[in-house]
Amino acid sequence: MNRWLWLIGALLLSLTTMAQDEMVSYSISGTVPVGVTSVYLHTLRNEPIDTAQVENGRFQFTGALQQNTFVTLVDNGTDLPVNMIIDGIPVEVNMERSVMKGSKLNERLNKADRQITDFTIDYMQDQMEYAQVGQGQIEVRDSLRRVMTASYNKVVVEMKNVIRANPDNVIPALYLSQIYNTLTIDELKEYLNEDHAYAAHPLCVGAWRMLNHHEKTNIGTRFTDLVEADTAGVSHRLSEYVGKGNYVLIDFWASWCAPCMLEMDNVKAVYQKYHEKGFEIVGLSFDRGRQSWINAIINHKLNWIHLSDLKYWNSEASIVYGISSIPANILLDGNGIIIATDLRGEELSRKLRQIYRY
């Protein structure tokens, strides 16, 4: 296993428990526009932390959180939130202007945020304009789509600039968590340098998984083994079914995933057509409810191999292959080498017709 894969594996196992162990006190106060009565302190996932009532145009929060936690402030009258990092230094916020004063780190974040917000507002306005154009106005929609794409690319470029300019602090973790799906494998490797101060921040887990996904699912790469249980609770290695001379589709899915279930008719069709020729499917489920998983297999007549550890997004399949969205799949040749990924509908049928010549 090369150095990158070792590092990715180690971090994926430890990121949720490492970093941010130290609890620090915070004091967040500030002013709001006229008419605002409440201010809300949230996590970046919009999970509530606290609510402050406004008195004489001011608000205040006090408490304790893990160091380097990112939080956001929003009030009941201002559209734009204010992001900040919990670092133990008091923060003063002008919600009307989205301006924050505090530590040098938070002031640096606030400056970057406001600059990126300017580009984001342009992108959102382009989105609104695009949404108002009728479906029949094809040329207008195509033109606006190009404008919208250009606006979004400006947002991404600015976030990349901030990431590159801040290797010595945790600010890049915020922006990396927002754009990692757009990055190339070379960019992910550049940004996830283990020497960068933000590389082990929990917000970077998605980026690490994406890098892991690239590394583990490249065409020409040999499959990576894992262990999960079948519907009877018996553990099996993926290598029991892969690399035995037959083509195998590894299907990442879940019973709760509507797009996965919509795709199952296509998967069933190719299984029924080619299974007698040796074609096999191994379903690796991201379910967390055992009965829901089994019911989906039975009710939809998914008559191939099924494995799961019922750990949802923390499943072995998700961690080993860096899967961050489903449905997903990889097609392996008889030697267990990846020859295609994420085949859907007609693409899957076409690929198997090429292989089996009918």
Asked if residue 352 and residue 232 are part of one domain, the reply reads yes
- From residue 188, alpha-carbon distances to 183, 277, 341 in Å are 6, 40, 20
Asked if residue 343 and residue 279 are part of one domain, the reply reads yes
We report the CATH number of the domain holding residue 37 as 2.60.40.10
What pLDDT is stored for residue 11 in this prediction? 54
Torsional sign, CA 128, 129, 134, 135:
negative
What's the domain range around 322?
A: 227-356
Asked if residue 127 and residue 93 are part of one domain, the reply reads no
Beta strands (DSSP E) in 57-121 are 58-66, 70-75, 82-85, 91-94, 99-101
Asked if residue 239 and residue 140 are part of one domain, the reply reads no
Task: Say what percent of the chain tops pLDDT 70.
Answer: 94
d(CA 277, CA 128): 51
Asked if residue 117 and residue 89 are part of one domain, the reply reads no
Could you tell me if residue 74 is inside a domain? Answer: yes
Residues 6+ apart with CB under 8 A from 251: 267, 281, 282, 283, 284, 327, 329
Could you tell me if residue 351 is inside a domain? Answer: yes
Could you tell me if residue 11 is inside a domain? Answer: no
pLDDT band, very low/low/confident/very high, at 324 (cuts 50, 70, 90) = confident
- Asked if 70 contacts 41 with a C-beta cutoff of 8 angstroms, the reply is no
The structure's pTM equals: 0.74
Both tokens of 300, joined, read 């939809």
Asked if residue 235 and residue 330 are part of one domain, the reply reads yes
Could you tell me if residue 1 is inside a domain? Answer: no
Asked if residue 245 and residue 343 are part of one domain, the reply reads yes
Among candidate residues 164, 183, 217, the one where a domain is terminated? 217
Among candidate residues 50, 78, 100, the one where a domain is terminated? 100
Rounded mean pLDDT, 14-40: 81
Asked if residue 273 and residue 344 are part of one domain, the reply reads yes
Asked if residue 89 and residue 157 are part of one domain, the reply reads no
Question: What is the distance in angstroms between the CA of the first residue and the CA of the last residue of the chain?
Answer: 38
Rounded mean pLDDT, 329-336: 97
Asked if residue 288 and residue 261 are part of one domain, the reply reads yes
Could you tell me if residue 13 is inside a domain? Answer: no
Rounded mean pLDDT, 46-73: 96
Could you tell me if residue 48 is inside a domain? Answer: yes
Could you tell me if residue 327 is inside a domain? Answer: yes
- In the chain, the number of structural domains is 3
Among candidate residues 156, 182, 217, the one where a domain is terminated? 217
CA diameter of the chain: 77
6-20, 46-60, 200-214, 311-325: least confidently modelled range: 6-20
Question: What is the amino acid identity at position 84?
Answer: M
- Asked if 116 contacts 82 with a C-beta cutoff of 8 angstroms, the reply is no
What pLDDT is stored for residue 17 in this prediction? 44
What pLDDT is stored for residue 21 in this prediction? 59
For all residues of the chain together, what is the average pLDDT?
A: 91
Could you tell me if residue 286 is inside a domain? Answer: yes
Q: Is the pLDDT of residue 104 over 90?
A: yes
Asked if residue 113 and residue 93 are part of one domain, the reply reads no
Task: Say what percent of the chain tops pLDDT 90.
Answer: 74
DSSP secondary structure letter of residue 292: H
We report the CATH number of the domain holding residue 301 as 3.40.30.10
334-352: pLDDT as tens digits: 999 999 999 998 999 999 9
